[in-house]
Amino acid sequence: ALMWISLAQRPLSVDELCHALAVKVGSVDLDTSTIPSIETLLGCCLGLITVDRESSTVRLIHATLQEHLSANP
């Protein structure tokens, strides 16, 4: 999730991120039974991401995290 958010060309919506994470590597199909909830993602990311409630987008909690992930993909 962190890399999806940090490498995205624009802010991802909650649904976009959850759907992206449900596609298995090497597949082009979305398995709707594996779509994680936003609560699951927030828990797994240990406070490093947050949801902007107004725009329903997901972002990294701090710009320094973005810098670190961009420098160390």
Region 48-55: mean pLDDT is 96
Quick one: pLDDT at residue 34?
A: 94
Element (H, E) at 42: helix 38-44
Region 22-42: mean pLDDT is 93
Is residue 55 predicted with pLDDT exceeding 80? yes
Q: Which residue has the higher pLDDT, 7 or 73?
A: 7
Q: How high is the mean pLDDT of the chain? A: 93
Region 21-49: mean pLDDT is 93
